[in-house]
A and B are shown apart, each in its own frame.
Chain A
Amino acid sequence: MKGRLLDLARISLPLVVICTLMVALIAAVNHFTAPVINENEKALFNQSVKDLFGLSKNEEPTVDPLHLPENELLPSGALAAYAVKMGEKQLGYCMEVTGSGAYSEDLRMLVAIDGDGQIIDLCCLASSETPGKGDKVLNDGFYSTYYLGRTVDEITSADPPILSGSTKTATALYNAVDCALALYQTLTVQKGDGA
Chain B
Amino acid sequence: MSGFFQVPWSDYRPDLTAALGRTVSYTVVSFAGAVVLGLAVALLRLSRVWPARALAAVYTEVFKNVPLLAIIFLSYFGLASAGIRLDVFTAGCLSLVVFYAAYLSEIFRSAISGVHAGQTEAGEALGLGRAGIFGHVVLPQAVRLALAGTNTMLVDLLKSTSLLVTISAAELMSEGRLITSATFRALEVYLVISAVYFVLCYPLSQLLLLLERKVRAGVPLSPWRRRRIRAARALLAAEPAAGPGAGTDRKEAAV
Partners in one complex: no
Where the two chains meet, the residues of A that have a C-beta atom closer than 8 Å to any C-beta of B are none
Chain B residues with a Cβ under 8 A of chain A: none
